[in-house]
Chain A
Amino acid sequence: MTTYHLRVNGREHAVDSDPDTPLLYVLRNDLHLNGAKFGCGLGQCGACTVTLDGESVMSCLVPVSVVGSRPVGTVEGLGTAQAPGVLQQAFIAEQAAQCGYCIAGMMMRAQALLAKNPSPTDAEIRKHMMPNLCRCGTHMRILRAVRRAAGALGKQGAQA
Chain B
Amino acid sequence: MSGDPQSPARRRLLAAGGSLTVLFAIRLAWAQDETPLDKGKLPGSLEKAPWLDAWIRIDADNRVTVFTGKAELGQGIKTALLQVAAEELQVAPGRIALVTADTARTPDEGYTAGSHSMQDSGTALRHAAAQVRTVLAGLAAQRFGIDAPALALQDGVLRAPDGRHVTYGELLAGRQLHLKADRTIPVRATAKHTVAGTSMQRVDIPAKVTGGVAYVQDLRLPGMVHGRVVRPPAPGARLLDVDTAAVARLPGVLKVVRDGRFLAVVADGEYRAVKAAAALARAARWDMPATLPAGASPAAVVRALPTQPNPILSRGSPRSDADSAGRTLAAHYTKPFQLHASIGPSCAIAQLAGGQYTVWTHSQGVYPLQGALAELLGADKATIRCIHTEGSGCYGHNAADDVAADAALLARALPGRPVRVQWMREDEHGWEPYGPAMLTAVRATLDTGGRIVDWQYDVWSPPHNTRPGNAGNLLAATHLERPFKPDTPTPSPQPEGSGDRNAIPYYVLPNARVTHQFQDSAPLRTSALRSLGAYCNVFSIESFMDELAHTAGVDPVAFRLRHLADPRAIDVVRRAAARFGWDAYKKTPRRGRGFAFARYKNLAAFCAVALEVEVARETGMVRITRAVAAVDCGEVVNPDGVRNQIEGGIVQSASWTLLERVRFDQRQVLTRDWAGYPILRFNQVPERLEVELIDRPGQPFLGTGEASQGPTAAAIANAVADACGLRLRDLPLDRARLRAGR
Contacts and interface: CB of A to CB of B under 8 A. Distances in A.
A binds B: yes
Interface of A: 18, 20-22, 25, 28-29, 32-35, 37-42, 44-45, 47, 74-76, 78-81, 84, 88, 91-92, 95, 97-104, 107, 125-127, 129-130, 132-141, 143
A84 B272 contact: no
Contact of A100 (B208, B271, B274): B208
Q: What's the dominant secondary structure at chain A's contact region?
A: loop
A146 B424 CA distance: 30
B210 A126 contact: no
Contacts of B208: 97, 100, 103-104
B210 A76 contact: yes
Interface stretch (B4-12, B68-76, B285-293, B610-618): B68-76
B463 interface: no
B486 interface: no
A95 B205 contact: yes
Interface in B334-391: 341-345, 390-391
B205 A91 contact: yes
B343 A134 contact: yes
A137 B210 contact: no
10 contacts: A32-B220, A45-B343, A75-B209, A76-B210, A80-B210, A97-B202, A133-B674, A135-B342, A137-B655, A143-B682
A101 B683 contact: no
Given A130-B683, A139-B685, A99 B251 contact: no
Interface of B: 73-76, 199, 201-202, 204-215, 217-218, 220, 251, 269-272, 274-275, 341-345, 390-393, 395, 422, 424-425, 640, 644-645, 647-652, 654-655, 673-675, 679-683, 685-686, 689
A139 B650 CA distance: 11
Nearest to A80: B210
Contacts of B425: 39-42, 44-45
A88 B204 CA distance: 13
A135 B343 contact: yes
Nearest to A90: B209
A141 B647 contact: yes
Nearest to A131: B681
A125 B270 CA distance: 34
Q: What's the dominant secondary structure at chain B's contact region?
A: loop
B651 A140 contact: yes
B111 to A, nearest CB: 17
Contacts of B673: 40, 42, 44
A126 B688 CA distance: 13
Nearest to B224: A29
A140 B251 CA distance: 45
B690 to A, nearest CB: 10
A21 B271 contact: yes
A20 B212 CA distance: 27
A34 B218 contact: yes
Given A39-B425, A137-B650, A95 B644 contact: yes
B648 A137 contact: yes
A92 B205 contact: yes
Contacts of B74: 97-101, 136
B674 A40 contact: yes
A74 B211 contact: yes
A134 B201 CA distance: 21
Task: Please indicate which of the listed interface residues B73, B76, B680, B682 has the most CB atoms of chain A within 10 Å of its own CB.
Answer: B682
A87 to B, nearest CB: 8
A29 B682 contact: no
Contact of A107 (B73, B209, B650, B683): B209
B652 to A, nearest CB: 4
Given A91-B205, A95-B201, A130-B681, A136 B648 contact: yes
B647 A137 contact: yes
Contacts of A107: 209
B659 to A, nearest CB: 12
A158 B353 CA distance: 59
Contact of B652 (A81, A127, A136, A141): A136
Contacts of B651: 137-140
Contacts of A98: 74-76, 393, 644-645, 648
